[in-house]
């Protein structure tokens, strides 16, 4: 009996240890699940018994400095499907594919996935959603689509957005964190089959819409710049061109136009049919490169040798250091020997001969500026070049800004120094050059260029202002004023005469530079430019026009760029209500050229254009030209019967502009959620007064009524029957 007793005890001990081991293992497993991995399993459980649908936020509006909308968000919807609730996925896939213009196999794949919720399609028009709204298991949430009402207007400033409403270029990208807002969530408790529990937990976290962005851009001045540079590029058969208008006292960019451009509503499409044909057959990589070139902001991202426009920097530095005075005399024999090389004047065939420094600036005489650079010395001259902001970013809030190229003093010899004196051997961006010129116009104070003025909340309250920034004092006020006086003679007596505007004192400098490609100057390829400042005695605006690769038959900046600057300055100064001051000779001449502005209010656009043309007046359309009979003139500037000079510009305000900026058509928000109705009304410039929760059942004023901006629309919401 002893042996069986021992075996029994051993079995009992074994069982005891086995049970203890299993119990210990179970405890360890529970610790692993409940404590160590508790957060993970808790999240998995929540995902399993809840339905979570994101609610996109509405992107903030982008305004110009006067409150005109440049980029808005139009109401639209995003569709989701819950495969567990789809009864006949195959049949439903046909309806959805037809309504949403999707591939049926792709739709069927989405409807049969083993997931709780699947995205069907983003950015769907309400009319398309209504065609499948009755299908069980299909859900829609209010969304928004970015819309640029003026199409390609200011495209290189605004940029564009992606499918998720994220900014991809321009200020849309730079200020994305402010414009985007904070998405919301719609969370509901579901059973094991994924169906919503009737009395279960459910909540909605409303999205926070993005802030509105106010730019320094003036829509009217931008129109002036875009029209002028587009005509210049076309007329001179140029590769591209840019025009920048800046307020020198604040650094505000009033206009920045780049041509060719693109439509940010369809940023991945070619700009015209000619481009479309060129893009056909390109590989994916080649297509990407073409799009990048189309989006590239020439004004801030491309560098070029400025040529004679850079002589304003040499002039200011020479005057500040006292190595030259306005009455200093020079002699031009057509060339000058430097470092064993002979550098020619642009007019070597007929040298300028004896001249004062003022006359040398008027004549844009290269040997004189070579001599001034030599007197300054490379260390001192490069010090001024860098002080004016060359070789470093200006700080403008636009993506892709280039640094430019400034030669290292250690490798700059006499020839390199001489070349920099008249604008060769240094590479700048257009934004750098106009910023430096604005410092001369601003008593020698270099301002940081500014593109953004303020951020506003949904109620229009300013939450942040982007103040103007003084970077440094580059030259003394006296030197700046002397430089301005000299540059004024360039327009009144020198190579910049094509920028002359009767009644206004204009300062300026021409520029013509041979292009550098792969480190070598290319024959027949030039960059023509002109820098204009007005009024010269109290500068209000600085304008830079750069025309890249114009027709070699006529490529001089004084001939093709100066008139463009003159037109922009003339239109802008009059728009800013800067009063002209005519000399007796100008006044007598202008009396003979005065015409009466015709009354074009209330007539179609084409008739208004004919009436203005017959009076020898130009026009500028303000507002979006649309199909139909809406292209009627609702206002004009100047008003009828006012006497103006021939070829003056008359601003024509279209009915579409009136609706956008003065009146609004009340949209239909019946059936919308609180977020959907609020977003739709705010997009039209209307305010909303909310009563109740749930779905909108009534509104006052009624849909379709024309009301003033900021009118309060009272909307009553009620919970649907059976909802909890």
Summarize pLDDT for 350-371 with one digit per residue, the tens: 788 999 999 999 999 999 999 9
Query: Is 447 a domain residue?
Result: yes
Give yes or no: residues 375 and 419 share one domain. Answer: yes
How confident is the model over 387-404, as a mean pLDDT? Answer: 94
User: Which pLDDT does position 261 carry in this prediction?
Assistant: 93
H helices, E strands: number in the chain:
25, 31
Work out the pLDDT band at 456, boundaries 50, 70, 90: very high
How confident is the model over 278-292, as a mean pLDDT? Answer: 88
User: Which pLDDT does position 133 carry in this prediction?
Assistant: 81
**Residue 461, domain extent:** 300-494
User: Which pLDDT does position 1 carry in this prediction?
Assistant: 47
pLDDT in tens, 602-622: 888 888 888 888 888 888 777
Asked which of 26-40, 539-553, 660-674 is least confident by mean pLDDT, the reply is 660-674
Query: Where among 463, 494, 525 does a domain terminate?
Result: 494
pLDDT in tens, 331-344: 999 888 888 888 88
Query: Where among 615, 631, 654 does a domain terminate?
Result: 654
SS3 assignment, position 128: helix
Give yes or no: residues 341 and 391 share one domain. Answer: yes
User: Which pLDDT does position 724 carry in this prediction?
Assistant: 41
Q: pTM surpassing 0.85?
A: no
67: region left, alpha or beta (phi > 0 left; psi from -120 to 50 alpha): left
Pick 383 or 78 by higher pLDDT: 383
User: Which pLDDT does position 260 carry in this prediction?
Assistant: 92
Give yes or no: residues 629 and 723 share one domain. Answer: no
Q: Mean pLDDT of all residues in the chain? A: 85
Give yes or no: residues 480 and 371 share one domain. Answer: yes
Give yes or no: residues 307 and 445 share one domain. Answer: yes
For the cut 70, the answer to whether the pLDDT of residue 233 exceeds it is yes
- Report strand pairing: 184-189 vs 50-55: antiparallel
For the cut 60, the answer to whether the pLDDT of residue 193 exceeds it is no
Work out the pLDDT band at 591, boundaries 50, 70, 90: low
Pick 96 or 625 by higher pLDDT: 96
For the cut 70, the answer to whether the pLDDT of residue 464 exceeds it is yes
User: Which pLDDT does position 712 carry in this prediction?
Assistant: 84
CA distance 178 to 554: 46
**DSSP structure class, residue 313:** H
Query: Is 283 a domain residue?
Result: no
SS (H, E, C) 262-288: CCCCCCCCCCCHHHHHHHCCCCHHHHH
Name residue 221's beta-bridge partners.
none
Give yes or no: residues 321 and 435 share one domain. Answer: yes
For the cut 90, the answer to whether the pLDDT of residue 592 exceeds it is no
Give yes or no: residues 610 and 676 share one domain. Answer: no
DSSP 316-353: HHHHHHTS--TT-EEEE-SEEEETTEEEE-TTTTS--E
Asked which of 462-466, 551-555, 688-692 is least confident by mean pLDDT, the reply is 688-692
Whether residue 606 contacts residue 640, with contact meaning beta carbons closer than 8 Å, is answered with no
Q: What is the dihedral of CA 640, 646, 649, 654, to 10 degrees?
A: 40
CA distance 579 to 601: 26
CA distance 532 to 635: 31
For the cut 50, the answer to whether the pLDDT of residue 210 exceeds it is yes
pLDDT in tens, 125-169: 877 888 888 888 887 777 778 888 888 999 999 999 987 788 999
Give me the catalytic one of 57, 140, 144, 308.
Answer: 308
Give yes or no: residues 306 and 436 share one domain. Answer: yes
How confident is the model over 441-466, as a mean pLDDT? Answer: 94
Q: What percentage of residues in the chain have a pLDDT greater than 70?
A: 88
Give yes or no: residues 351 and 435 share one domain. Answer: yes
Total domains present in the chain: 4
User: Which pLDDT does position 230 carry in this prediction?
Assistant: 93
Give yes or no: residues 380 and 413 share one domain. Answer: yes
Query: What are the phi and psi torsion angles at 210 (to 5°)?
Result: -70, 165
CA distance 320 to 341: 29
Asked which of 267-271, 292-296, 582-586 is least confident by mean pLDDT, the reply is 582-586
Burial class (CB in 10 A: 0-12, 13-18, 19+), 64: buried
Query: Is 17 a domain residue?
Result: yes
Query: What are the phi and psi torsion angles at 639 (to 5°)?
Result: -70, 165
Query: Is 607 a domain residue?
Result: yes
For the cut 70, the answer to whether the pLDDT of residue 100 exceeds it is yes
Asked which of 81-85, 213-217, 240-244 is least confident by mean pLDDT, the reply is 81-85
H/E element holding 462? Answer: strand 462-465
Structure token digits, residue 452:
């953004």
Place of tokens 């479309």: 276
User: Which pLDDT does position 690 carry in this prediction?
Assistant: 80
For the cut 70, the answer to whether the pLDDT of residue 423 exceeds it is yes
CA distance 506 to 499: 7
Work out the pLDDT band at 694, boundaries 50, 70, 90: confident
Work out the pLDDT band at 389, boundaries 50, 70, 90: very high
How confident is the model over 419-436, as a mean pLDDT? Answer: 94
Give yes or no: residues 641 and 722 share one domain. Answer: no
For the cut 90, the answer to whether the pLDDT of residue 278 exceeds it is no
Query: Where among 436, 469, 494 does a domain terminate?
Result: 494
User: Which pLDDT does position 652 carry in this prediction?
Assistant: 82
User: Which pLDDT does position 124 carry in this prediction?
Assistant: 81
DSSP 563-632: HHHHHHHHHHHHHTTPPP---HHHHHHHHHHEEEPP--TTSBHHHHHHHHHHTT-EEEEES---SSS--B
User: Which pLDDT does position 140 carry in this prediction?
Assistant: 78
Query: Is 21 a domain residue?
Result: yes
How confident is the model over 433-450, as a mean pLDDT? Answer: 96
Query: Is 406 a domain residue?
Result: yes
How confident is the model over 196-208, as a mean pLDDT? Answer: 61
Which CATH number does the domain housing residue 358 bear? 3.40.710.10
How confident is the model over 285-308, as a mean pLDDT? Answer: 92
Which CATH number does the domain housing residue 600 bear? 3.30.10.20
Query: Is 122 a domain residue?
Result: no
Q: What percentage of residues in the chain have a pLDDT greater than 90?
A: 42
Structure token digits, residue 597:
């502005």
Give yes or no: residues 643 and 708 share one domain. Answer: no
Query: Is 410 a domain residue?
Result: yes
Pick 297 or 90 by higher pLDDT: 297
How confident is the model over 215-226, as a mean pLDDT? Answer: 94
Q: How many residues does the chain have?
A: 724
* Residue spans of alpha helices (H) in 398-521: 414-421, 430-441, 477-492
Q: Give the closest residue to 569 by CA, choosing from 619, 647, 481, 499.
A: 499
Pick 710 or 32 by higher pLDDT: 32
Structure token digits, residue 222:
């931008």
DSSP 90-119: HHHHHHHHHHHT--HHHHHHHHTSSSS-EE
Pick 202 or 700 by higher pLDDT: 700
User: Which pLDDT does position 722 carry in this prediction?
Assistant: 46
For the cut 50, the answer to whether the pLDDT of residue 723 exceeds it is no
Asked if 308 is an active-site residue, the reply is yes
Residues in CB range of 384: below 8 A, 6 or more apart: 313, 316, 317, 320, 376, 474
CA distance 146 to 668: 20
**DSSP structure class, residue 719:** P
């Amino acid at each position: 009996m002893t042996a069986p007793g021992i075996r029994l005890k051993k079995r009992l001990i074994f069982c005891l240890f086995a049970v203890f081991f299993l119990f210990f293992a179970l405890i360890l497993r529970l610790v692993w699940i409940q404590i160590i991995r508790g957060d993970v399993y808790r999240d998995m459980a929540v995902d399993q018994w809840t339905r979570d649908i994101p609610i996109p936020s509405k992107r903030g509006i982008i305004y110009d400095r006067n409150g005109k909308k440049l980029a808005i968000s139009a109401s639209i919807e995003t569709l989701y499907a819950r495969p567990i609730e789809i009864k006949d996925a195959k049949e439903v896939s046909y309806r959805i594919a037809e309504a949403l213009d999707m591939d049926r196999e792709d739709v069927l794949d989405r409807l049969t996935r083993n997931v709780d919720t699947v995205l069907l399609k983003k950015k769907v028009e309400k009319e398309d959603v209504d065609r499948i709204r009755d299908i069980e298991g299909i859900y829609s949430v209010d969304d928004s689509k970015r819309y640029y009402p003026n199409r390609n207007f200011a495209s290189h400033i605004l940029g564009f957005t992606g499918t998720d409403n994220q900014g991809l270029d321009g200020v849309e990208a730079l200020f994305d964190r402010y414009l985007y807002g904070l998405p919301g969530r719609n969370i509901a408790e579901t059973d094991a089959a994924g169906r919503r529990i009737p009395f279960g937990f459910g909540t909605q976290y409303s999205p926070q819409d993005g802030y509105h962005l106010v730019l320094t851009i003036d829509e009217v001045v931008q129109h002036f710049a875009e029209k002028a540079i587009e005509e210049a590029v076309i007329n001179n058969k140029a590769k591209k061109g840019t025009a920048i208008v800046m307020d020198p006292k604040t650094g505000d960019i009033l206009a920045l136009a780049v041509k060719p451009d693109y439509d940010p509503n369809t940023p991945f499409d070619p700009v015209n049919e000619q481009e479309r044909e060129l893009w056909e057959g390109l590989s994916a990589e080649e297509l990407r490169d073409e799009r990048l070139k189309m989006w590239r902001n020439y004004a801030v991202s491309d560098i070029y040798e400025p040529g004679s426009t850079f002589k304003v920097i040499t002039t200011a530095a020479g005057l500040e250091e006292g190595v030259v005075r306005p009455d200093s005399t020079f002699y031009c024999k057509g060339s000058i020997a430097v470092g064993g090389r002979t550098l020619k004047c642009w007019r070597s065939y007929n040298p300028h001969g004896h001249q004062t420094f003022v006359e040398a600036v008027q004549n844009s005489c290269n040997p004189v500026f070579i001599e001034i650079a030599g007197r300054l010395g490379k260390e001192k001259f490069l010090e001024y070049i860098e002080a004016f902001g060359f070789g470093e970013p200006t700080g403008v809030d636009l993506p892709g800004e280039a640094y430019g190229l400034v030669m290292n003093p250690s490798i700059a010899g006499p020839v390199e120094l001489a070349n920099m004196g008249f604008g060769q051997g240094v590479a700048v961006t257009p934004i750098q050059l106009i910023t430096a010129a604005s410092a001369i116009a601003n008593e020698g104070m270099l301002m940081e260029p500014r593109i953004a003025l303020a951020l506003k909340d949904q109620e229009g309250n300013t939450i942040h202002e982007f103040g103007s920034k003084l970077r440094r004092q580059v030259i003394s006020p006296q030197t700046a004023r002397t430089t301005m006086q000299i540059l004024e003679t360039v327009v009144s007596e020198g190579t910049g005469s094509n920028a002359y505007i009767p009644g206004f004192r204009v300062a300026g400098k021409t520029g013509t530079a041979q292009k550098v490609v792969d480190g070598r100057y290319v024959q027949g390829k030039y960059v023509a430019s002109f820098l204009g400042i007005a009024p010269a005695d109290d500068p209000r605006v600085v304008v830079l026009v750069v025309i890249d690769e114009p027709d070699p038959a006529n490529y001089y900046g004084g001939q093709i760029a100066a008139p463009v600057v003159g037109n922009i300055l003339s239109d802008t100064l009059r728009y800013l209500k800067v009063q002209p001051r005519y000399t007796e000779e100008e006044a007598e001449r202008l009396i003979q050229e005065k015409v009466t502005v015709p009354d074009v209010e209330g007539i179609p656009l084409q008739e208004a254009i004919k009436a203005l043309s017959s009076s020898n007046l130009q026009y500028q359309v303000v507002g979006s030209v649309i199909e139909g009979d809406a292209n009627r003139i609702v206002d004009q500037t100047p008003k009828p019967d006012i006497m103006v000079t021939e070829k003056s510009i008359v601003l024509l305000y279209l009915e579409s502009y009136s609706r956008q900026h003065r009146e609004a058509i009340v949209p239909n928000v019946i059936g919308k959620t609180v977020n959907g109705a609020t977003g739709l009304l705010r997009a039209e410039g209307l305010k909303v007064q909310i009563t109740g929760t749930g779905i909108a059942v009534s509104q006052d004023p009624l849909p379709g009524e024309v009301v003033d901006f900021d009118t309060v629309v009272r909307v009553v919401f009620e919970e649907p029957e059976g909802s909890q």
